[in-house]
Amino acid sequence: MPQSFCNDNPELLITEIQYHPHDEYNGGTYFELFNNDTSAVNLHLWKILNRDSTVNMTMEEPYNLESGEYLVFPQNPSMFSSVFPDAPYYEYSTGITFPAEADSFGLQDKFGVTRIWMSYGVSSPWPEIPDSTGKALELDDYSLSPYEPENWFAGCKEGSPGHEFKACDTTSITEFENYFSVIPNPFDDFLTIRSQKGISITDVRILNGSGQVVTIPVRKNSPESWYLNTATVSSGVYLLEIRSKSTLFYRKILKFE
């Protein structure tokens, strides 16, 4: 039986909200919960509240969220895990689809006490996120109030669920495709990268959702052409990093099962 933890007023934070996922890399809408407390919190029988403060979902399965850990609550767990296989997530749907408009939701503990009530906006003073980017709202400073719009920013394309914000894809697709071709994408057992304008490529890496380098065989055919053997890479969304002598380029890439 899982250990039970008692914390009368746990310091839990909503740290990411995805209300407008990218059409191409669509993991659905979700929110991210972070345990900012010094002890674990047992979320058994906690409830997700919708915008009307009514219960949308009860966490029937015991789940201990350790201090410093993240947990993602997706609207569609199957869709989410296919895009973000490395992210920790609750395996049952919240039943809440966040609209691309101002909305609210909350978390209630097993005693019926509402511990979090989160309202977000989509226009100033909240960060404005263009429809095409798939960026998520990210909490900036965990020591400041998560209820102030100024403490949120537009983060990674397709979000960064399940871990703290890291450097991510800031290169526009148009800019990237002006300089490089990546074939195929979505990919399977291999990737070929070619420079479109004679830019010498000095290094190529694939990063997973946690920002870790995925170790794969890489062959440099020429300074303008690289071949990556991706047969052992698991399905999901990754960040392709291409380094030249003067700059870095990033592009989201996708592997299906």
Nearest to 252 by CA among 189, 185, 201, 193: 185
Above 90 in pLDDT, residue 113?
yes
Residues 153 and 189 in one domain: no
The reply to whether 234 falls in a domain is yes
Q: Bigger pLDDT: 30 or 179?
A: 30
Above 60 in pLDDT, residue 172?
no
Residues 19 and 69 in one domain: yes
Burial of 71 (0-12, 13-18, 19+ CB in 10 A): buried
Which of 6-10, 195-199, 245-249 has the least mean pLDDT? 6-10
The CATH number covering residue 38 comes to 2.60.40.1260
The reply to whether 24 falls in a domain is yes
The reply to whether 104 falls in a domain is yes
Residues 26 and 148 in one domain: yes
pLDDT, averaged across the chain: 88
Q: Bigger pLDDT: 11 or 156?
A: 11
The reply to whether 240 falls in a domain is yes
Above 70 in pLDDT, residue 6?
no
Half-sphere exposure of 242 (CA within 13 A, CB side): 29
Calculate what percentage of the chain has a pLDDT beyond 90: 63
Position 130 scores a pLDDT of: 74
Above 70 in pLDDT, residue 246?
no
Measured between alpha carbons, how far is 253 from 173 in angstroms, rounded to an integer?
11
Residues 187 and 117 in one domain: no
Residues 125 and 183 in one domain: no
Q: Bigger pLDDT: 165 or 100?
A: 100
Residues 99 and 180 in one domain: no
Residues 131 and 250 in one domain: no
The reply to whether 55 falls in a domain is yes
Residues 122 and 66 in one domain: yes
Average pLDDT over residues 8-13: 85
Position 135 scores a pLDDT of: 84
Q: Bigger pLDDT: 90 or 249?
A: 90
Average pLDDT over residues 139-157: 90
Position 84 scores a pLDDT of: 87
Count of structural domains within the chain: 2
Position 210 scores a pLDDT of: 73
Residues 18 and 132 in one domain: yes
Q: Is the peptide bond before 130 cis (omega within 30 degrees of 0)?
A: no
The reply to whether 125 falls in a domain is yes
- Give the end of a domain, one of 129, 157, 185: 157
Assess contact for 176 and 251: CB atoms under 8 A: yes
- Give the end of a domain, one of 157, 188, 218: 157
Average pLDDT over residues 86-110: 94
Position 231 scores a pLDDT of: 96
The reply to whether 163 falls in a domain is no
The reply to whether 3 falls in a domain is no
The CATH number covering residue 243 comes to 2.60.40.1220
Average pLDDT over residues 118-124: 95
Measured between alpha carbons, how far is 226 from 218 in angstroms, rounded to an integer?
7
Residues 34 and 99 in one domain: yes
- Give the end of a domain, one of 157, 186, 218: 157
Above 80 in pLDDT, residue 26?
yes
Q: Which domain holds residue 94?
A: 12-157
Residues 36 and 153 in one domain: yes
Residues 153 and 180 in one domain: no
Above 90 in pLDDT, residue 76?
yes
